[in-house]
Chains A and B, each alone.
Chain A
């Protein structure tokens, strides 16, 4: 990058906030999808919204592409740097600005971690509901950009349902307030558009979130089944009975084996296990939990374990959450795919995935949010064997196609990013993508704001999702991948 521009950044936000040394830059080369890498020219560490604004103004004037980055835990290459561009890291905007318990609102800067909000409001009996498993480390800015979900989004919704307002810098450098701590702001829901736009429309500098009262009671059970379709039937019955569980998670035999090898949760031997959690007022949980138990039994559960205390509940969740990282115990490499199918299509799509695994001679484990049909197939391979990486890539892509054919989506929570943009035409017509592009062009006519993400670029067709590599966060035991 032109030294003259680098000097402008130094003048604007201070020389110590401008990183240009390769050893400093290498950390920012990729997010948690490490097979997509690109070295940024410059990394900028603003400390305030005003700093962000100054940076974006320089980028706008000089035609420099910029990529916002939270804590780099994204799984779709959303924060992948752009050649010749800068990375704007929001890590230093990490203050909790206001906690308003009576109005159940918290205002934070984007670099605050997801769990920090809950940590700060827990003493008052409140929590922040969206709970991605990376919550100890991922940033609120990243959550807003990805519209992140968590195990409990079946009942509580995604990030978009819990954000009241943001302050953001538009690609032209203008600082805007979108949304309001008060309800019913007039006009189109621009906030709803920004949430989930993967950092392509603005850089978020402040977030107002809604917090919830901690539920009075939580109950969790684990049920073992002889087949995925029986477990799937149990889920359908529970939901048809008018019950909306806080979480419904499913694991198949491969995933159970991996979890057992890694953290020994003592899961019963089974083809499929189902974890169901209810929360809410004690009387409601007590009454509905009995129905859930009976439903699982009637659907053919061979064994049911009800968590008797927090420790047992913790063990069940540990087994579930460890399943991903645990794949490393049974396979040298693996892909984590993220796709969605309508819940009733789960058995059909699972059968297709099994056939695919048999046909290609590859092992695929399945751990997923069964309540909302969000699949996370784990595709096992060994990169040392020639052709296996390519095969795994092809299989991962094929599964996405099954999801779309079943009426689902190519991503339920990890985002499109740089990774899946070439799959977008499978879900949306050319006209639809063109209109999405026009939204982007309206706000970012110079195409400088996180370019090359979300919407397909014709020249790169045939790209496939990348292999799984353990993220430092997982290695450090700070979070497991959902």
Chain B
């Protein structure tokens, strides 16, 4: 397929916040992608990068989108070096497909997404991760190499395919969380982990957040090593999910130790039931409508965060779901009139108990009235300086992204 055939007019299905892009390009090779990007830069076309489209709505509302460059046709598994426990995949490969390949050798990339269509490129660009981040960190912690297409049409690499390597600037880190504002991620190399020999999940239920926070504190100070950790509150129900994954006897022993620390007896899940529970848990904050925020806090502040949520609720904003992933980061789904939601975001940003309150999903009206990214930071200022070099025409996710 030639470049021009891979280019089509945008349709309503391609719309982002109601803005229909003029054209959509689905290049078939890294070289084509780089060419399309260079042309776009030369012609100053405002360009949005798209992986599976699962998080494409994250960001400010664009006035206009000239071009969407999708990586759907760049979905190849480049190499699974299972003996070395590394993998290289093109950016458009869905995370789920990647993990299916890795499963053949009982390995995995311990990153979870709420979205079936999430791709390798997308998880890096958003640095989005699920409850396993408690043990393994976010994609940036597992990324060891990248190929990037630059706006001037060059394909460049940083890092490599070995797990230990300090040669050169780590551009893979730089594009992590960049939301498509600096360069196009063409392929990525990750270090992998073995699938655990055994796994078990404990679920504790609580009548309120205060009791839950006490158990969280007890676990935090203990020798229990959790793989995943999730606090979840919805419809007045509070649950604490704890996953331990290790060798069989060790998993049992860890679970016994956790049970000893908890204030009441948890439910125990394993096997398919356990997998299904986590799948649901990861998707839960996103399932129904409403505004989804990301926020973080100091672990010791969890009780204060819980109190803060109660205050929001008492001011008329429905806290539909709260998912605390790892000890100090999570998602919040709010329901209510636009004005109530806007006021709640304002309250959260002003509150000392939480920080980095970012709106991930909201209707267009809300997004037009408040900056989804929140106040600028030192890293964002530096990011902007770098963007002027990487994207001198300011075409990449311009106005929408964090920089």
Contacts and interface: CB of A to CB of B under 8 A. Distances in A.
Interface of A: 100, 102-104, 146-147, 149, 153, 157-158, 160-161, 170, 176-193, 195-197, 213, 215-216, 236, 239-244, 280-284, 286-288, 291, 340-344, 369, 372-374, 407-416, 420, 424, 427-429, 431-436, 438-443, 454-455
Interface in B114-160: 127, 137, 140-141, 148, 150, 154-158, 160
A381 B192 CA distance: 39
Nearest to A455: B168
Give the one of B140, B148, B297 with max A CB within 10 A.
B140
B174 A190 contact: yes
B274 interface: no
A442 B173 CA distance: 17
A188 B247 contact: no
Nearest to B354: A182
Interface stretch (B68-76, B82-90, B202-210, B361-369): B82-90
Nearest to A426: B167
A340 B165 CA distance: 7
Contact of A182 (B168, B296, B373): B296
Contacts of A281: 223-225, 246, 250, 253-254, 257
Nearest to A243: B194
A191 B379 contact: yes
Contacts of B85: 239, 343
Pairs of residues from A and B, 3 with the lowest C-beta to C-beta distance, nearest first? A192-B173, A283-B253, A284-B250
25 contacts: A103-B299, A103-B328, A147-B166, A158-B164, A160-B170, A186-B373, A187-B377, A188-B175, A188-B181, A188-B182, A189-B173, A189-B176, A189-B178, A192-B176, A193-B174, A213-B223, A281-B246, A283-B253, A284-B246, A343-B84, A344-B83, A409-B166, A416-B166, A428-B167, A436-B169
Nearest to A345: B84
B171 A182 contact: no
A158 B164 CA distance: 9
Nearest to B175: A188
B162 A288 contact: no
Nearest to B125: A188
A373 B162 CA distance: 8
Contacts of B228: none
A73 to B, nearest CB: 15
A189 B140 contact: yes
A195 B81 CA distance: 27
B163 interface: yes
A411 B165 contact: yes
A431 B176 CA distance: 21
B298 interface: yes
A409 B160 contact: yes
B382 interface: yes
Contact of B250 (A170, A181, A283, A344): A283
Nearest to A147: B166
A455 B248 CA distance: 48
A407 B162 contact: yes
Contacts, number: 274
B383 A190 contact: yes
Contacts of B156: 428-429, 431-432, 434-435
B25 to A, nearest CB: 22
B127 A189 contact: yes
Contacts of A193: 169-171, 173-174
Given A187-B373, A373-B162, 12 more contacts: A102-B299, A147-B166, A182-B355, A192-B176, A281-B225, A286-B250, A288-B250, A407-B160, A408-B165, A414-B166, A428-B157, A434-B154
A372 B250 CA distance: 25
A148 to B, nearest CB: 9
Contacts of A413: 164, 166
A190 B162 CA distance: 22
A412 B168 CA distance: 11
B196 interface: yes
B249 interface: yes
B370 interface: no
Given A409-B160, A436-B158, A186 B166 contact: no
Nearest to B79: A407
B383 A187 contact: yes
Nearest to B128: A184
B211 interface: no
B14 to A, nearest CB: 25
A71 B106 CA distance: 44
